[in-house]
Structure formats: structure tokens, C-alpha cells
Chain A
Amino acid sequence: AQSVAQPEDQVNVAEGNPLTVKCTYSVSGNPYLFWYVQYPNRGLQFLLKYITGDNLVKGSYGFEAEFNKSQTSFHLKKPSALVSDSALYFCAVRDGLAAGNKLTFGGGTRVLVKP
């Protein structure tokens, strides 16, 4: 079975400050991890993914995420947040042992960046 948790429903941050959105996961095999962002009245947009290799993954719009196997975490980070980063962020996981491309999504974290 595969599962993912986003412990924070909302994160508030001032513009220019670092932004972190937390994600933890549980899988039987190796994890394939993804971050998506959803702006109002839009679908999900892919930000980045971890499959294997370097634990620090860089993605779109200046976002990066760090894979931590011992803590089973994949937190999303941005060094300096923008007001335009205000959106709903989803972490997703797929178990490397599972057949198919079935992703399990977290409940989402709403990010509010204030000017």
C-alpha cells in the first residue's frame, strides 16, 4: 500500500521569506515522488519529481524538494516566496513495486504569501 501525508492544511509566509511545504510518505518499495501546484479554477501543474539519484531535486518556478529516505519525507522548498506562489500544493507518491502509474495524492496544503 502507498500513502502520503501533508500535515499542514495551510502555510502562511511573507513575500521574500523561505517557503517550505511538508510531505511524508509510506510505500513498500522505492518511492516515486511528485509535487504539483493548483491555481484557482485550474488543473494541477507538475512542479518536480524524485525517481532516483540526487536527493535534491530542482523544478519549475524556482522550487526544489529534498528527498530524505530515513525520514520518509519529500518537503517542497523555495528560498524566496512570491505573492504569485499563493496556491494549493499537492504531494503525490507511487510505489516503485506497484504496477501501473497509480498516484496517491496528499490532501493538499494551501500556501498564502502575503506582501
Chain B
Amino acid sequence: ETGVTQTPRHLVMGMTNKKSLKCEQHLGHNAMYWYKQSAKKPLELMFVYNFKEQTENNSVPSRFSPECPNSSHLFLHLHTLQPEDSALYLCASSPAETGTYEQYFGPGTRLTVT
């Protein structure tokens, strides 16, 4: 295991639902990331947080709302999603946003929007 956990592992939601994805890292890292992995598309960076502050929003639609209450926890709040938002959502962490650190990934949440 990488020290990064994600819940739930699988989620099916309707387009009018509101749900949240949770990520927790036990590595003492200060930077956390949300990625979207769709079939036949490269991994897409969505958001970056460094010391709880958002430092990157990669033109993500407002129906995705991140929250980082502390350096160990990261949430992705979902509302009024579209079927094309179905994907594997990966959380990652690294010691800091700067430097030459590799990122450690969680197992992902497989999201299906119906």
C-alpha cells in the first residue's frame, strides 16, 4: 500500500445527486492532488493543494468542488454531474508541491454517472 486511501472505491450516482469523494494520506505530506483517469485519455490533473491552499485548478467545471481541511485530507464534492464525468478519480500526495518528489497515489474511486 502507498499510504494514500480513498473512499468509496466505487460510486454510482444519478445526475441530480450530490456526493463526496474522500482521500486521506498517512505519509506526512503537504501537497495533495486530484486526477481524473478516463478510458483512452491521458491522466488529467484537476486540482492541487499545497499546505491546504489550492494552487492549481486545471479549468475544472464548477460541478466539481474540492476541499482540503488539513494536509492529510482531501475531498472532492460532486453535484449535477454528467455521464461523461464517469471515470476513475485518483488522489495523490507528495512531500511538497515544489522540488523533485514523486507522487504517491491512492487506489482511486470508480465513479459511474447514470
Residues of A within 8 A of B (CB): 32, 34, 36, 41-46, 49, 51, 90, 99-108
Of B14-22, B66-74, B77-85, B100-108, the one contacting chain A is B100-108
Residue B96 at the chain A interface, CB threshold 8 Å: yes
Residue B42 at the chain A interface, CB threshold 8 Å: yes
CA distance A100 to B47 in the complex (A): 12
Q: Which of B42, B97, B103 contacts A107 (CB 8 A)?
A: B42
Nearest Cβ on chain A to B7's Cβ, whole angstroms? 13
Within 8 Å CB of A34, what residues of B? 102
Q: A43-B106, A44-B90, A105-B43 are in contact. Are A99 and B100 (CB under 8 A)?
A: no
CA distance A105 to B41 in the complex (A): 10
Residues of B within 8 A of A (CB): 2, 4, 6, 31, 41-43, 45, 48, 50, 55-56, 90, 92, 94, 96-108, 110
Nearest Cβ on chain A to B31's Cβ, whole angstroms? 6
Q: Which of B42, B99, B102 contacts A106 (CB 8 A)?
A: B42
Within 8 Å CB of A36, what residues of B? 105
The total number of A-B Cβ pairs within 8 Å is 57
Nearest Cβ on chain A to B110's Cβ, whole angstroms? 8
- Report 29 cross-chain contacts, Cβ distance below 8 Å, ordered by A residue: A41-B107, A41-B110, A43-B2, A43-B4, A43-B6, A43-B106, A43-B108, A44-B43, A44-B105, A46-B104, A49-B102, A51-B100, A90-B43, A99-B98, A100-B50, A100-B97, A101-B48, A101-B94, A101-B97, A101-B98, A101-B99, A101-B101, A102-B56, A103-B103, A104-B42, A105-B43, A106-B42, A107-B41, A108-B42
CA distance A27 to B110 in the complex (A): 32
Nearest Cβ on chain A to B33's Cβ, whole angstroms? 8
Which residue of B has the minimal Cβ distance to A41?
Answer: B107
CA distance A18 to B89 in the complex (A): 33
CA distance A99 to B99 in the complex (A): 9
